[in-house]
Amino acid sequence: MQKKHLIRIFSLLLAVMFVIAVFASCGNAQNESQADSGTEPQSQEESSKDENAFRLEKRDFGGEVIKILTPRSDGYGGCEIAASEITTEPVNDASYNRAKLISETYGLNVEQHFSDNVMESIRTQTESGLDEFQACTSSIYNLSKLAADGIFYDLKHIASNSYIDLNQPYWDDAVTRDLSIQDTIYYATGDIVVTDDDATWAIFFNKDIMKNMNIMADYPYESIYDLVKDEKWTLDKLHEMAKKGTIQVSDGELVFGVDSQDTWGLMAQCYDSYAFTAGCGEGFIQRDGDGLRISLGDESNINAFRQVFDMMWDTSCVGVAEISGRKSNAKDFYGDELKIFENGKALFMPYRIGAVQEEGMREADIHYGLLPMPKLNELQDTYASTETVYWCTAVSIPLTNVQKFDATCYALELLAYYGKELMTPEYYDRTLKNKRFEDQESTEMLDMIFRNRTYDIGAVYNFGEILYFYTSILMSGENTQVSSLQKNLPVYQSAIDDFLAIVNSSPV
């Protein structure tokens, strides 16, 4: 508690310093604006793209360096902010070219730095009053922990400039829509990165099993894609097809394992109990005016989870990694889950879309497609696919950033805009659509999935460990949703109240 009080006091001091810095920078901004007229002329095409398409007035920041701290990663996370070199990998090279364009056109040198623990590094920086890194990226799950301590700026109400506009199409408006609390938001994602898309949850399915076992014979559709397009893709349909797609070779129960000859109708993990329920339009918490309401006790929520629970505990066709894996003495539940699907031994598997980038899925000798998470029933308005909060990347600005605050905001808006122009096409069209999926229908499913992406405040902020509510019940083997909620409700509510108190006392 003592550290939190120190951070809040420090935040108040920073707010005062910030106001002073804004007034002091007014004259500099005017000089910079005048200096713009003497910049090197651009081609007509470049000038049109840079000055007319990008909504902000063109500025030259004179080589200002903006350091952004990111988690160390061998995947896209290691290059998606500002790649340091050309490698012939499309997303990496698009990131490099974006940073180069921003440097040459706007005088902003964006540098990507790495940490094994971004949270700890930013917390230490804040408590020390340093400004080593002007922004940071991490999973929204991690960033929310720092936001709960009042360490980040509210990106919706920036007093000194209008550089960041979260209503622009290159920012993910679902984050603002679903995760704003009392009209504040402390992080943003969208075309500034690609790992937010990688973290989106969807259903992979084996097209060979679907065809060879004639799964669609009992439905009036030529393909499962047509069923989805007709808004009839539901939990019941998934469960029915999973039963039809199961092939048991072993004696007794189906065997979970990479060497098993059994074919599962549905291969899943405990996290899917939340992902399926979110796909039904339900979750942990809903906004209620300026407050937050725990929705786990709603009748619609209870009904949705009951159906999810019953399906995931149908061991005649469903294998849950943490449950079936333990019975089979598996050492790597999640690795084996993915491997079972790659080996062609599962009809369906919910997973993050980024799995298609991994070596096993790239080299798998199967034909697979992609579907949105199923609806609860046909009365549900739209499909809904949530994110895995552990992988979805967002960006925040620490309160220690005072002197370079304006430049940072301008840089983030540039990164997001040119991300949409340069980087997203390489990731979405060239890599995901053209390389990883072999049919036009899967790419249409991708559009549908990203269009209907949702977030849950409870999952992101994990108030009182609420994120594990569904998974712990599933692991227990008994659906105790009502009694578990009664037991845990005071803990959840207390955590929510504590966070709202911080939001209300924030100086910025």
Q: Which domains does the chain have, with CATH numbers?
A: 2-36+48-197+391-434 (3.40.190.10), 201-386+453-489 (3.40.190.10)
SS (H, E, C) 205-230: EEHHHHHHCCHHHHCCCCCHHHHHHC
User: So what's the pLDDT on residue 25?
Assistant: 41
Distance CA 185, CA 197 (A): 20
Percent of the chain residues past pLDDT 70, beyond the cut: 89
User: So what's the pLDDT on residue 382?
Assistant: 96
User: So what's the pLDDT on residue 345?
Assistant: 97
Distance CA 59, CA 1 (A): 43
Is residue 154 within 8 A of residue 184, CB to CB? The reply is: yes
Give every strand in the sheet of 64-71, ordered side by side: 108-115, 64-71, 135-139, 393-396
Distance CA 430, CA 450 (A): 16
User: So what's the pLDDT on residue 362?
Assistant: 87
Higher local confidence (pLDDT), 297 or 437: 297
Q: Which helix (H) or strand (E) segment is 5 a member of?
A: helix 2-35
User: So what's the pLDDT on residue 48?
Assistant: 37
The model's confidence at residue 393, banded by pLDDT at 50, 70 and 90, is very high
Distance CA 437, CA 1 (A): 50
- Burial class of 251 by CB neighbour count within 10 A (0 to 12, 13 to 18, 19+): exposed
The model's confidence at residue 437, banded by pLDDT at 50, 70 and 90, is confident
Distance CA 175, CA 20 (A): 31
Distance CA 146, CA 123 (A): 7
Query: What tokens appear for 140 in the block?
Result: 């929204």
Tokens 């990164």 belong to residue:
415
User: So what's the pLDDT on residue 316?
Assistant: 96
User: Partners of 286 in the beta sheet?
Assistant: 293
Mean pLDDT of 436-460: 90
pLDDT score of 467 more than 50: yes
Helix/strand/coil for 313: coil
Distance CA 207, CA 217 (A): 14
Query: What tokens appear for 337 in the block?
Result: 């889950």
User: Partners of 201 in the beta sheet?
Assistant: 352
Higher local confidence (pLDDT), 463 or 75: 463
User: So what's the pLDDT on residue 15?
Assistant: 42
Pairing of strands 346-352, 201-206: antiparallel
Percent of the chain residues past pLDDT 90, beyond the cut: 76
- Give 491-504 pLDDT, tens digit per residue: 999 999 998 888 87
What is the helix, strand, coil percentage profile of the chain, to 5? 50, 15, 35
Q: What is the DSSP letter of 185?
A: -
- Give 350-391 pLDDT, tens digit per residue: 999 999 888 899 889 999 999 999 999 999 999 999 999 999
User: So what's the pLDDT on residue 271?
Assistant: 96
Distance CA 433, CA 425 (A): 10
User: So what's the pLDDT on residue 442?
Assistant: 84
Phi, psi (degrees; rounded to nearest 5) at 263: -115, 120
- Give 137-188 pLDDT, tens digit per residue: 999 999 999 998 889 999 998 988 999 999 999 999 999 999 998 889 999 9
User: So what's the pLDDT on residue 329?
Assistant: 80
State in Å, rounded, how far the first CA of the chain is from the last one: 21
The model's confidence at residue 45, banded by pLDDT at 50, 70 and 90, is very low
The H-assigned helical ranges of 272-331 are 272-279, 299-312, 321-327
Helix/strand/coil for 55: coil
Is residue 206 within 8 A of residue 347, CB to CB? The reply is: yes
User: So what's the pLDDT on residue 506?
Assistant: 63
Q: Which helix (H) or strand (E) segment is 454 a member of?
A: strand 453-454
Distance CA 227, CA 224 (A): 5
Distance CA 499, CA 496 (A): 5
pLDDT score of 46 more than 80: no
Length of the chain: 508
Half-sphere exposure (CA, 13 Å, Cβ side) for 134? 20
Is residue 147 within 8 A of residue 122, CB to CB? The reply is: no
Pairing of strands 318-320, 264-268: parallel
User: So what's the pLDDT on residue 495?
Assistant: 94
The model's confidence at residue 346, banded by pLDDT at 50, 70 and 90, is very high
Neighbours of 173 (CB within 10 A): 13
